[in-house]
Structure 1
């Protein structure tokens, strides 16, 4: 498996075992996810919307307040991150590139 596939598996596994994760482990997983999503978005040319509706904004919000989040919110954020990464990986592997005309 590739490192990205391994990371997606790690995120899904963590989402199913939030009770076994420390706050630090959860925060690091979410930070890695944000970095990975940013990198994949850049690779395919998808700009950030820089709004609260951007999935990255939502992941970062959970990451910065992880100690105050209930387990179900943490699980949902980890699964969202896994889905974003998996989807962006498919787009990147297909050779699709996004360009924004101005």
Structure 2
């Protein structure tokens, strides 16, 4: 497995055990997810649309307001993070494949 794939699995595990992990761990995972999402977007040449709410903003807001969030909100943010990272990884892998084949 790659580092990114391992992190996606870590996010899924954390979402499944959200009530068992500390607020510090939740915040650390969400902040790491945000850095990963922004890094992968940058590598893919993607820029979030202006004027529209970006899904990444939901993750950032959940992380910033973690003390006021329910376990369900945190679980949703962790799952959204994992899904976004997975989708970006697939897009980058496809882009790399096209460049190799092209």
User: Quick one: distance in 2 between partners of 1:50 and 1:23?
Assistant: 31
User: Quick one: distance in 2 between partners of 1:68 and 1:50?
Assistant: 28
TM-score normalised by the chain length of structure 1: 0.89
Deviation at 1:74, TM superposition (A): 0.4
Determine the structure 2 residue equivalent to 1:62.
62
- Please list every run of at least 4 consecutive aligned residues from structure 1 whose deviation after the TM superposition is greater than 4 angstroms: none
Deviation at 1:50, TM superposition (A): 5.4
User: Quick one: distance in 2 between partners of 1:57 and 1:51?
Assistant: 12
Determine the structure 1 residue equivalent to 2:13.
13
Q: Any gaps of 5 or more consecutive residues in structure 1?
A: 97-102
Determine the structure 2 residue equivalent to 1:91.
91
CA RMSD of aligned residues (A): 1.3
Superposition map of 1:1-102 within 5 A? 1-49=1-49, 51=51, 53-95=53-95
TM-score normalised by the chain length of structure 2: 0.89
Q: CA distance change for structure 1 residues 52 and 24 in 2, over 3 Å: closer, same or farther?
A: farther
Determine the structure 2 residue equivalent to 1:100.
none
The answer to whether the Cα contact below 8 Å between 1:50 and 1:57 also exists between their aligned partners in 2 is no
Q: Any gaps of 5 or more consecutive residues in structure 2?
A: 97-102
